[in-house]
Structure formats: C-alpha cells, structure tokens
Amino acid sequence: MGVSNAVKYAYIVARVRAMKSKLIPREMYPKFLNMDIPEIIRFIEESEYKNDVDELSKKYKGTDLFEHSLSRNLALTYRKLIEVSQNEANFLITEYLRSWDIWNIKTILRGKFSGASEEEILEGVVSAGQLRYRDLTELVKIDTVEGVIAALSGTPYYPALEGYKGDLAEIENALDKWYYSKRIAAATETGNKLFLKFLRTEIDLKNLNILFRMKKAGMERDDIAKLLIPGGLELKEADLNRLASLPFPEFVRALEEYSYWSTIADISNDLTSLIQIETRLEKHALVYASQISHYYPLSILPILDYILSKKIEVDNLRIIVRGKETKLPEEIIKSHLVM
C-alpha cells in the first residue's frame, strides 16, 4: 500500500480505533452469561447504547427494546462510518455495507408480498447502508411489490429486481449474488489484495453454507449451481460444479481437500443439524478478518475489523439475552458466541 493511501486512511483509522475502544470488552461476555436479563439490560442502559434505549423505550419494552436498541445503534454506527470516511475508504465501506440496503429491500418486498402493515415492515428495517431511513419509509408506503421495484429503478439494485415474476426467493438470491460480485469488483478496483482475499474467502464460506444446506435437502445439481456465487478463493467454478453433483456423504468427504475442512472436521460426523457447521464457518470468517486487520494498520482492514467487531458485539449481546429469554441451555448460547 502506497504512502498516499496510508495518509488517506490515517484519519478514518484513528476514528475507528477510538470507536473500537468503546466496544464491550470480550471478558464481559462470560459475566453476562451469569447475569439475569434485567441486569444485562441495566448494564446496556448505562453504556454506549443509552441513547438508543432512551429513544426507543416508548415504543418497545423488555427484550424487544433491547434488540431494537442494539439494531439502531448498529445502524447509526455504520452510518457514522460512511459519513466520516472519504475517498477510497468511503467507497469500500459503502460497498461493504450495501448488505444492509439489500436486507432492507428484501424486508420491504417480503412485507409487501405478505400484506404486512407499514409499521411491521419498518420494525425490520435497519438503515445501516446507503438507503436512509426516510428513503426506506417512502418505499414502505408503496402498496405493491411491483411498485417498490419500480421505485428502485434509479438504483444499482434494479437490474437484480426487474425480472420479478412473483417469486420473491428468486430476486432475493439475485440481489445477494449481485452484492457479492459488486464487492469483489470494488475491492479489485482499489487493488487491496488482502481485502480481496478476505472477500473471496467469505464467498467460499457462503458457497459452502449453500452447498451444505442444498445437498442435505437433496436438491438437484442444477438448482444448486444457479445459487452458487462465483469468485471464491479455493472453491473455483469447477470445484463448485463437482461438489454440487456429489451425493451428500461424498460431498462432505470431498471437503477434506480444502483448507476449510480443519474448521469443521471434528463435527463432521454428526450432520443431523447444520447449525454447528454454519456457526463454525461464520466464526472462521470473523477470526480471519481480525487476523488480517493487523497486517496493514493504515488500510481498509482495521475498518473492516471494526465493522465485524461491532456486529459481533451486537450479535453476542442479543444471543445472550434472547437465549436466556427463550431458556436455551447455556452450552448452546456459549457455542454461538464469538469471544
């Protein structure tokens, strides 16, 4: 990375470091596990989430207030990152956080599809991407799926949506595929090889996730192939085609050839549930992002690490509180935490 680029990142990285220092220390999570829900909520009310809790306390109560506060805080934090960054950093952060725009579009389309009320749909919206809350509110006011798609005609999401013929799953998949290809294109444009490697690893892990689910459900090769995302690091197109055509037990055995096998090898004997496999693969991506963020301190990588660390904080808090609320055994809660 050139000196000029390093200078460009100095400001945003300094801001991100300051923001990262405010994250809940990881040693707090085991303590949360021993606390009651009201105690955890009280802790959160006195932390960085105070404003969000105060803001939403009229609308929600209890664990719903907790979850919506976390979600609001996450959205505002990511929006702040977009606002304080410039040039390349801004471009890459915006591209990375497009996943939230896609999430919001999907939620609005699903809501319109099922005839949910505007309020119900807006509850599921997290304006952490480029689309602001007021844009999303305007979209929610439109009555039909077709109307929402037409309103998005000026956005980059439109090409993935315009083929809608009544099958929501199809355009959801098209949106996700578009998102992954867009991120790869953005990273390639900036020439940040390590960031690109991370994104391609993420694609591999996502493809593995899709393969596991589809193979276990006994889906046909062609149905699987149309969902797989090109551009992975280890799992190239030929690998994906081969894996998609194997029966489930052979598919699992074939994974031994790839580096990801070490992440799941010890739990690959019992595949009655894929939840543990999926959790391991997700953690693999997060640990990898954290590792590479230290290689180039003045680049997009520390920002990426912060984005993921913030997400982990929100996810961990939610898992603990919702897990306790739904009386999940502690070992299940622990197995999903990233500490």
> Which residues of this chain interact with another protein, rule CB under 8 A?
64, 67-68, 71, 102-103, 106-107, 110-111, 113-114, 116, 120-121, 123-124, 126, 168-173, 175-177, 206, 209-210, 212-214, 217, 219, 223, 227, 229, 273-275, 277-279, 315, 318-319, 322-323, 326-328, 332-333, 336
Cβ proximity of 274 and 264 under 8 Å: no
Question: Measured from the CB atom, is 21 or 269 closer to another protein?
Answer: 269
Question: Measured from the CB atom, is 15 or 221 closer to another protein?
Answer: 221
Q: Minimum Å distance from CB 67 to another protein?
A: 6
Cβ proximity of 270 and 288 under 8 Å: no
Q: Minimum Å distance from CB 335 to another protein?
A: 10
Closest CA to 324 of 67, 34, 45, 69: 34
Q: Minimum Å distance from CB 118 to another protein?
A: 13
Question: Measured from the CB atom, is 71 or 85 closer to another protein?
Answer: 71
Question: Measured from the CB atom, is 77 or 107 closer to another protein?
Answer: 107
Q: Minimum Å distance from CB 33 to another protein?
A: 13
Closest CA to 40 of 329, 321, 336, 326: 321
Cβ proximity of 286 and 312 under 8 Å: yes
Question: Measured from the CB atom, is 20 or 110 closer to another protein?
Answer: 110
Residues 6+ apart with CB under 8 A from 149: 109, 158, 161, 162, 164
Cα 259 to Cα 204, 234, 235, 284: the distances in Å are 11, 8, 10, 11
Q: Minimum Å distance from CB 278 to another protein?
A: 5
How far is the C-alpha of 211 from the C-alpha of 215, rounded, in Å?
6
Q: What is the dihedral of CA 83, 87, 92, 93, to 10 degrees?
A: -10
Question: Measured from the CB atom, is 229 or 235 closer to another protein?
Answer: 229
Question: Measured from the CB atom, is 197 or 311 closer to another protein?
Answer: 311
Residues 6+ apart with CB under 8 A from 122: 136, 137, 140
Q: What is the DSSP letter of 154?
A: T
Q: Minimum Å distance from CB 147 to another protein?
A: 16
**Residue spans of alpha helices (H) in the chain:** 3-21, 28-33, 37-45, 50-56, 62-84, 87-96, 98-114, 118-123, 133-141, 145-151, 158-161, 168-190, 193-216, 221-225, 237-245, 248-254, 261-264, 275-292, 300-325, 330-336
Question: Measured from the CB atom, is 8 or 68 closer to another protein?
Answer: 68
